[in-house]
Amino acid sequence: MTTPQISQDPLYLMLRNDDVAGFNKARESGQACDLKGCDLRGLDLRKIELAGMDLTDTYFRGSDLRGVDFRGCNLDGASLADAKVSGCYFPAEISAEEIQMSVKLGTRLRHRI
């Protein structure tokens, strides 16, 4: 198991500072961001745009993810422990049971694309 990382990526730091709108705007303008293995615990990410991102091993413990669209994202190894996931779209390859186990027990998602 990997340890969640505090990255120095400028877009990641926007999220850590509750600037989801700035993150979305920067991504929309073509700025790259690497969130693999990052620590996103406890953040309010309700309006985040993650289309096509590689979120391998990302740590979402206790985050507010309501309404987030994860379709097209790689979530292998991501943890959703105690996260709010109401209204989320997840890749069809991840079963509801897998998601429930991650939210309730903190298991890492198994998602191979």
Q: pTM (2 decimals)? A: 0.92
Look at residues 65, 59, 56, 18 and name the one whose alpha carbon lies nearest to residue 41.
59
Residue 103: CATH number of its domain: 2.160.20
Q: Considering its fold, how many domains does the chain have in total?
A: 1
Whole domain around residue 69: which residue ranges? 1-113
Per-residue pLDDT of the chain (113 residues; tens, 9 = 90+): 578 889 999 999 999 999 999 999 999 999 999 999 999 999 999 999 999 999 999 999 999 999 999 999 999 999 999 999 999 999 999 999 999 999 999 999 998 66
d(CA 64, CA 84): 5
